[in-house]
Amino acid sequence: MEARYPRSGDQKLVQIVDAALADATRRSGRWLACRPGCTDCCHGVFAINQLDALRLDRGLAELEARDPRRARGVRQRARESMSRVLPDFPGDRSTGVLGEDEDSIRRFENFANDEPCPALSPETGLCELYEWRPMTCRVFGPPVRSENGLGVCQLCFQGASDDEIAACEMVPDPADLESKLLKKVENRTQRRGETLVLFCLAR
């Protein structure tokens, strides 16, 4: 696994994104409702890429070395989650790779929207793999631009104007380092396509 995981490059990516988050958080001030124990964004599955998957795999291995009991809890929750969602999974059930055809994309829109993330501790309400979390988790909350415009967490920026939201925009990866690292990972592992957090943690 270590040979496949671009540790130094990914660490650089994480530093860039976390610095952008810190800056957006400072500018957002009271508009940003994100706090430890707020778990709204920890429910409902979302797609992650193969770089995210390797990072999570590495993080769970480190948690196993440091605290086997907590790691077992993560794996158990992931396996329980898999048993619930697998029958309707819109992709390859053996690999966990999401389908890219129109029907799979349509089915994914309403798939497992209430499923809790297995990395979420039910005891503390905190993420057991916070340092290793996917990029989607790292940028959730502040305004981030997509093809649909600026998106924000539904709990954040309550009452803020469009201009106030735009002033807090987060640009997480301006040099697009993630795409370069992802290409390396896919070439090394020969794994392509997006998957889910629970597939990474149930192994």
pLDDT tens per residue, range 34-68: 888 899 999 999 999 999 999 999 999 999 999 99
Q: The tokens of 24 are what?
A: 């957006």
Tell me the backbone φ, ψ of residue 16, rounded to 5 degrees.
Answer: -65, -50
Read off the pTM: 0.93
Q: Answer for the pair 9, 58: CB distance below 8 angstroms, yes or no.
A: no
Q: In this prediction, what percent of the chain has a pLDDT beyond 70?
A: 99
